[in-house]
Structure 1
């Protein structure tokens, strides 16, 4: 197994990892995202990983980082193995992930392990089903109101869409009584902003307590028709911060799907393939593991850079185009817009229904698509705007 030169290790950080972090892993930074689109940062990142594979071969590439064992995954079959063999021997709750998510969801399933993780995962899988709540009806309600606003102004902007999407998200997760409670999601946004800095930002205990108290007020209503009404309040309070966090990413995916003229579930899947909202997937080994004859120690952090597997033109003839035909089962094992294996997003079907419904309602009334192939490697959703049809 190859070890990257110091220069290439530096390039892995400066061209691939740091731009991803700068855009905001937990909450997107609008200014940096706009700059990343201008320079097409993800195109450079994908090209860098492709050069690594050409230079070092398909096996995981060890980076030269003092005191750490870190490997960049370069082959789709290795990425599939990591995801399939989670959480043992490849745990999801990596050091970096715990440092970030602990700011706002210390009891979240993504930073849990052992039986605690298994129980929380089962709970998530049980309640995050579109047949348990009327997500489609809620989204239709809010998007219909959004359309009225868009017609009055002549355009649909990200800001207007995001306000409507958050109203729908609060209703789906917490109930209609939380529809206009902007404060609960504003508090969460502040905590997520801190989480962008992971262990470099001190925990804001009082802010999190304020958020959790506000959250619990809604959860303890146990409103019928919401996810909060499907479980024990303590379980819901522990997991709801992640559900709300995930709805933010779902909104971004939906807005980008509009830009390519996406339709239905395939439109959502394709948007998430073209511009993954989780571009860096991390796993950490719990024991020594054999990789093509080389043993890597326990505690090795594995990095799967999803845009490389989703947008490599040498392997995927449809890499830079809208290709709904590949879904729901793409032949390429490295295409994982909702992750994969036992760690796959348990709310995927809920996201597909909510996002697909928004596309169905909005698309006939907007001038779409606004983007055509070859599609950009980096897309700033904050800057998207759609003219309404007369």
Structure 2
């Protein structure tokens, strides 16, 4: 005998829409928006959504909760195991090519792998995995990419030393230039128009199917992207593209458009990780000790620093909503949900589940001791067969930039941020508002360094400054 799937009331459906789904889209699902992000941090929007969904899970049980949406079958996933199943069984019967995602990403990558199905998706996925070397911790081009990261961070540091402040605008300009160099090489160093054209299309993507198609702008961007790939030099990701054969179904320019989009999230993770390390001097010391044991001119995995980046993505996921549409009827315990059901995973609910002892604590060790690996609902890069194929490359670039920043200077968080040592990590952290003051780097103490942060940290809310006491 089958049971009816739990269904949210109209009031509960509206609350989920207002507290979880709407803020995620308002903040910019495809291109982040500054004002909504500032408001989300001010009101800690993610905290309210986590509390709501936790209450609904207690009230209705852990099974997918159907929402009362006219003419649609929509279900919110509430159980960690169901997150694992949804991702593990992608792309069939749970396709990443959801209605909303297709409308949003189609604005600038109509042939992107995330919005593809069938044989075309398989060809594009295989190509991405091969070019990005999904299963290698360090890409074979890492020796050529690392000097670019080091040189561009050095340029940024020189500028910041004169200005005495590193804010998001200055960091993002340097990061976007670095991304262009990594992907296309020197000819694209100052090609700001390429990224500006992409950003314009991404802003249209924020509106999904409510926005206009912009077919001509998309075609012009694709042509410009193909030229940049053709003109790219050696030692770039474009070189890896040329080395990997592709058929007519792949459309490399659309896959690269997605890479450029994804590099934005990596930059946000760098800024947030730098911020959280600024207020956790014990973890910063552990990272510095790891760096001291490595040659800065040689690529290295840097497992602890990589764990810090992953932990920042757990605390503040750059993909707050994971969407899947079912291609067939699916069974969930004693209930069935029809084909075409849209499943919504609100990642902060699982990353910050109150049942976790480390829910609101910066705990990079969970990425080193197997805790995160055993939990299918900790998904900073998604999971399963449709997980991000560029995960290792993105982590290499993020840790490479962070390593250079940490080696060169000590960064003091000066913006009025909700980040404070000894207090729960804020549920929402606006990267646009982050600002740092550079100070001369201090030599790390080689030897055993605790990953835990037992240091005291004094703060001044009146001035918005954050000053560390002695590290130890």
Please give the TM-score of this superposition, normalised by the length of structure 1.
0.97
1:180 corresponds to which residue? 190
Deviation at 1:332, TM superposition (A): 2.6
Q: Distance in 2 between matches of 1:354 and 1:165?
A: 10
Post-superposition offset of 1:221: 2.2
Q: Partner residue of 1:236?
A: 252
Q: Which deviates more from structure 2 when the two are superposed, residues 359-368 or residues 174-183?
A: 359-368
Q: CA deviation at 1:69?
A: 0.7
Q: In the TM superposition, what whole-angstrom CA distance separates every residue of 1:202-221 from its partner, at most 9, and x where no partner exists? A: 11122112212221111112
Matched, 1:387 2:427: no
Segment of structure 1 superposing worse, 255-264 or 112-121: 255-264
* Partner in structure 2 of residue 26 of structure 1: 30
Separation in structure 2 between the aligned mates of residue 121 and residue 227 of structure 1, nearest angstrom: 17
CA contact (8 A) 2:412 2:438 kept: no
- Greater gyration radius: 2
Aligned pair in 2 of structure 1 residues 368, 321: CA closer, same or farther (>3 Å)? farther
3-state SS of paired residue (1:193): helix
Q: How many Å separate the matches in 1 of 2:139 and 2:66?
A: 44
Q: Which residue of 1 aligns with 2:12?
A: 8
Partner of 2:139 in structure 1?
Answer: 131
In 2: Cα distance, 1:151 partner to 1:127 partner: 37
Q: 215, 219, 228: which is aligned to 1:209?
A: 219
For residues 375 and 347 of structure 1, the distance between their equivalents in structure 2, rounded to whole angstroms, comes to: 28
Residue 298 of structure 1 and its aligned partner are, at CA, apart by 0.4
Question: Aligned residue for 1:288?
Answer: 329
* TM-score computed with the length of structure 2 as normaliser: 0.80
Is 1:107 aligned to 2:111, yes or no? yes
1 CA distance for matches of 2:265 and 2:201? 16
Give the number of aligned pairs: 389
| CA distance in 2 between partners of 1:155 and 1:8 (Å) | 45
Asked if structure 2 preserves the Cα contact closer than 8 Å seen for 1:366 and 1:386, the reply is no
Shift of 1:363: 2.2
Provide Cα deviations, 1:143-184, integer angstroms capped at 9, x if missing partner. 111111111111211111101111111111222211110000
Q: 1: distance between equivalents of 2:114 and 2:122?
A: 11
Distance in 2 (CA, whole Å) between partners of 1:15 and 1:320 is: 19
Residue in structure 2 matched with residue 256 of structure 1 by the alignment: 272
Q: Which moved more, 1:91-100 or 1:235-244?
A: 235-244
Which of 303, 321, 327 does residue 361 from structure 2 map onto? 321
Report the secondary structure of 1:388's partner residue.
Answer: strand
Cα shift readout 1:66-106 (whole Å, capped 9, x = no counterpart)? 11111100000000000000000100101111000110000
Higher helix share: 1
Q: After TM superposition, list the pairs within 5 Å mapping 1:280-359 onto structure 2.
A: 280-313=321-354, 315-328=355-368, 329=370, 330=372, 331-359=374-402
Give me the whole-angstrom Cα distance separating, in 2, the residues matched to 1:123 and 1:225.
Answer: 19
Unpaired runs of at least 5, structure 1:
none
1:79: which partner in 2?
A: 83
- Alignment deviations for residues 286-328 of structure 1 (CA, whole Å, 9 cap, x no partner): 1001001101100001111000000122x21111111110005
In structure 2, runs of 5+ residues without a counterpart are 278-283, 288-304, 441-472
Cα distance in 2 for residues equivalent to 1:85 and 1:368 = 44
Alignment check: 8 A CA contact 1:135 1:353 kept:
no
Secondary structure at the aligned position of 1:283 is classed as: strand
Q: Which residue is equivalent to 1:269?
A: 310
